[in-house]
């Protein structure tokens, strides 16, 4: 199959300045059929992107923490049916009617917990503000999320689907069960066995770290710190320096950095059955609908790692029915086409364009038309 369409998209978006720098990897049946680094890791210093450039993952962190959780489930260290309060007695949110919520681990991993991303929480006075995982902070997981104890969830756990900070809370559960930091758990259960050498909650090599760029009306700008995106696509606070702050809680929803190849190793492991991190049963379940028919994004269901396309037209995507996809607001997107045995990873240094701007559908369409 020819990747001319993909090359053309990358040439156009970097040539126009829409995307500053990108690494795109495409694997089919376990073999790389396309690997390209294009544009700038640091535009102002004219440092080019390389295949081993390190990007801030944002929500690409989520499937890594989900995989860590499932690895622990596979080893009998916890269960998806366990009450969250068994591990986090300081986290006791309420149902909308004021009764104590029956929150389970499965609700966190599937985003059916009743938590939501709420930028207004970051605007509260310092002693009440709740960090959403992208902005800088010196709070621990307990100090941050215990502020939600006694507050009302958006819905009763299990009743709906809503993208949220649930994976941050899940990270706190993982820490409690593992008995060490979230990074240590991730490395022990997933990143170590899969040789994901740079996927960490810190930067392993500063010389390879991509500069973060932010969307603006005149094209990407070097991201200020902090930067508040008030786009309809995402409302939240970014802090590129957070990755250097050892005091900031390790955000299971947004806190990691690493390479595109690290992400590909994880996704290909899941696509091909989960070995050596967990069973084929859990790998298959993770790529299948785990939320039933509860309300969620149009044309999509959700598994343990990302969204499953059930209706391409309703979802507004070039991806076919059965595709699994997600991304990260620092500029990343990925998808798996199970029937074609194909996995695609795109990491850019452009928030939000590389995650949910026009570039994403341009890339998806180019790949799908090349099949």
Structure tokens, 314: 């309703």
Structure tokens, 210: 């991509």
Q: Indicate the helix (H) or strand (E) that contains 325.
A: strand 324-328
Q: Give per-residue burial for 25-43: e unless 16+ CB within 10 Å, then b.
A: bbbbeeeeebbbbbbbbbb
How far is Cα 287 from Cα 303, in angstroms, rounded to an integer?
Answer: 5
Alpha helices (H) in the chain, listed in sequence order = 4-15, 61-74, 105-109, 141-145, 166-178, 182-186, 260-271, 280-286, 312-315, 353-356, 358-369
How far is Cα 211 from Cα 274, in angstroms, rounded to an integer?
Answer: 33
Q: 347 and 331 in contact (C-beta within 8 Å)?
A: yes
Q: Give per-residue burial for 117-140: e unless 16+ CB within 10 Å, then b.
A: bbeebbeeeeeebbbbbbbbbebe
Residues in the chain: 371
How far is Cα 236 from Cα 239, in angstroms, rounded to an integer?
Answer: 10
Which residues are marked as active site? 59
Sorted by sequence, the CB contacts under 8 Å of residue 94 that are 6+ apart come out as 100, 101, 150, 151, 152, 153
3-state SS, residue 18: coil
How far is Cα 195 from Cα 187, in angstroms, rounded to an integer?
Answer: 9
3-state SS, residue 333: strand
């Amino acid at each position: 199959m020819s990747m001319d369409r993909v090359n053309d998209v990358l040439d156009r978006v970097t040539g126009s300045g829409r995307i500053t720098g990108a690494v795109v990897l495409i694997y089919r049946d376990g073999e790389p059929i396309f690997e390209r680094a294009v544009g700038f890791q640091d535009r102002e210093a004219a440092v080019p992107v390389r295949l081993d450039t390190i990007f801030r993952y944002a929500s690409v962190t989520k499937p890594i923490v989900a995989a860590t959780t499932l690895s622990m489930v596979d080893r009998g260290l916890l269960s998806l049916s366990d009450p969250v309060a068994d591990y986090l007695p300081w986290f006791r949110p309420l149902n909308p009617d004021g009764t104590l919520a029956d929150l389970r681990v499965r609700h966190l991993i599937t985003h059916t917990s009743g938590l939501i991303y709420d930028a207004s929480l970051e605007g509260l006075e310092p002693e009440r503000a709740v960090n959403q995982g992208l902005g800088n902070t010196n709070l621990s997981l307990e100090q941050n999320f215990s502020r939600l104890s006694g507050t009302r969830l958006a819905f009763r756990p299990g009743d709906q689907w809503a993208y949220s900070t649930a994976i941050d809370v899940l990270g706190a559960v993982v820490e409690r069960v593992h008995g060490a930091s979230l990074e240590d758990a991730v490395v022990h259960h997933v990143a170590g066995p899969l040789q994901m050498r740079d996927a960490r909650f810190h930067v392993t090599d500063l010389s390879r770290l991509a500069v973060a760029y932010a969307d603006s009306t005149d094209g990407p700008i070097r991201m200020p710190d902090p930067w508040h995106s008030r786009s309809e696509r995402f409302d939240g606070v970014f802090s590129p320096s957070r990755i250097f702050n050892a005091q900031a809680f390790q955000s299971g929803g947004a806190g990691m950095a690493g390479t595109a190849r690290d992400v590909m190793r994880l996704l290909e492991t899941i696509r091909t059955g989960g070995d050596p991190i967990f069973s084929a049963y859990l790998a298959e379940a993770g790529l299948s609908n785990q939320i039933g028919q509860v309300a969620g994004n149009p044309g999509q269901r959700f598994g343990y790692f990302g969204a499953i396309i059930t209706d391409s037209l309703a979802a507004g995507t070039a991806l076919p029915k059965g595709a699994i996809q997600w991304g990260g607001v620092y500029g990343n997107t990925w998808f798996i086409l199970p029937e074609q045995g194909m996995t695609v990873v795109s990491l850019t240094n452009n928030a939000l364009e590389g995650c949910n701007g026009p570039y994403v559908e341009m890339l998806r369409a180019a790949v799908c038309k090349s099949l």
